Amino acid sequence: MNTQDVILGLLCKEPRSGYDIKQHFEQYFSFFFDASYGTIYPTLTKMEGLELITKESIRQEGKPDKNVYTVTEKGKEHFREYLERAAEPELLRSDFLMHLYFGDMADPEAMNGIIRRALEEKKRMYDDLEDKYRKLDSVTGPYQKLCMELGLVQYKAFIVKLEEMLGKSGD
């Protein structure tokens, strides 16, 4: 899975601009995928060259022009191939867990702060995701909902465990 596959998937649902794509990443994918404008725009140009998508410049009133991309038949076929491929193994990179792992080398006070901050951060992410979940429109399919539910239960488990940890060590 790379940015190209994901963009292709979004454009299979409806035509979008690079800016719209980034918005969608932030709204719905933020907890398991992200890409910056520095990746999105060059990728769109590349995909146009490969004839996976076509560009149309739209003039807007009171806003800058936007380039709206539409997937081609070739692009749809590419995405179908992606969907059929076995999913790549999940990748997690957690600097918090690394800090925790080496916790005995740090000042206990500092570690406490790090754990507390991680907990606050996770709670914030949980609330954010829950908020997005509640705001899902009726058009949203069951699979999208399941995605978010999977995110929520994992966040929750993390939060519960961390709170249990902090509780045990007094405070």
Partner DNA sequence: TTACCCATGTAAAGGGTTACATGATTTT
Partner DNA sequence: AAAATCATGTAACCCTTTACATGGGTAA
Decide if residue 32 touches a second copy (CB under 8 A). yes
Decide if residue 19 touches a second copy (CB under 8 A). no
Query: Which of 63, 93, 134, 135 lies at the binding interface for a second copy (CB under 8 A)?
Result: 93
Among residues 120, 133, 129, the alpha carbon closest in space to that of 159 is found at 120
Confirm if 22 and 34 have CB atoms less than 8 A apart.
no
**Tokens, residue 70:** 């539409």
Helix axes 37-49, 3-13, angle to 10 degrees: 70
Give the nearer residue to DNA in terms of CB position, either 17 or 162.
17
Decide if residue 62 touches DNA (CB under 7 A). yes
Q: What is the dihedral of CA 100, 105, 110, 114, to 10 degrees?
A: -10
Among residues 170, 169, 115, 126, the alpha carbon closest in space to that of 149 is found at 126
Give the nearer residue to DNA in terms of CB position, either 6 or 118.
6
Residues of this chain, 27-46, that bind DNA according to CB under 7 A: 34-39, 41-45
Task: Name the residues that contact a second copy, by CB under 8 A.
Answer: 1, 5-6, 9, 12, 28-29, 31-33, 79-80, 83-84, 86-106, 110-111, 114, 117-118, 121, 141-144, 146-147, 149-151, 153-154, 156-158, 160-162, 165
